[in-house]
Structure 1
Amino acid sequence: MLHTIVLTLLIIVSIALIFVVLLQSGKSAGLSGAISGGAEQLFGKQKARGLDLILHRLTIILSVLFFLLTISLAYLGV
């Protein structure tokens, strides 16, 4: 019973995580954009505002929830 509930929650969180990641706008294209985007994220003065901030925080929450549910499902499967 508990295994089914955790599995159902894991599927819902997985779909929500995919949806939230796809909704986020890309910072730059290519490898150089990824490097400069990471540097801007760490050292930049501009902070995310509005919808980007909400999506960023929601991605963090859903990813942590995903890992916790996955670990608990692996524990219950033993």
Structure 2
Amino acid sequence: MVKTIIMVVYVIICIALTIIVLSQEGKSASLTSSITGGNYDNSYWGKNKGSSKDAVLRKITTVLGILFIIIALLLDSKLF
């Protein structure tokens, strides 16, 4: 019973992790900034990286990744 609950939580984490990773933007410079010569780090959004959408997604990805590894190790162990 407990193993089934942990397995369901594990599947939910896997799906959430996949969706969040796919919704993040890449690190490459955009075409617009390369044409206009805009520097992201000197803009308002570049200075407020900690509270941006990308920063929140990065933090959620880290937490879900850690939970993914912990639950995978837990399911692999002989405890259940």
CA drift of 1:75 comes to 1.2
> Percentage identity across aligned positions?
37
Counterpart-to-counterpart distance in 2, 1:77 and 1:11: 19
Counterpart-to-counterpart distance in 1, 2:18 and 2:78: 25
AA of the residue aligned to 2:5: I
Counterpart-to-counterpart distance in 1, 2:57 and 2:49: 13
Counterpart-to-counterpart distance in 1, 2:12 and 2:48: 33
Which residue matches 2:33? none
Which residue matches 2:21? 21
**SS of the residue aligned with 2:77?**
helix
CA drift of 1:28 comes to 1.6
Counterpart-to-counterpart distance in 2, 1:10 and 1:25: 25
Structure 1, residues 25-77: CA drift from partner, whole Å, max 9, x if none?
01128xxxxxxxxxxxxxxx884541000000000000000001101111147
AA of the residue aligned to 1:55: L
Answering whether residue 60 of structure 2 is matched by residue 64 of structure 1, we say no
- Give the unaligned 5+ runs of structure 1: 30-44
Which residue matches 1:74? 76
RMSD (Å), alpha carbons: 2.2
Counterpart-to-counterpart distance in 2, 1:54 and 1:46: 12
Counterpart-to-counterpart distance in 1, 2:13 and 2:2: 16
- Give the unaligned 5+ runs of structure 2: 30-46
**Structure 1 consecutive aligned stretches of length 4 or more whose deviation exceeds 2 Å:** 45-49
AA of the residue aligned to 2:65: S
Does the aligned pair in 2 maintain the 1:3–1:76 contact within 8 Å? no
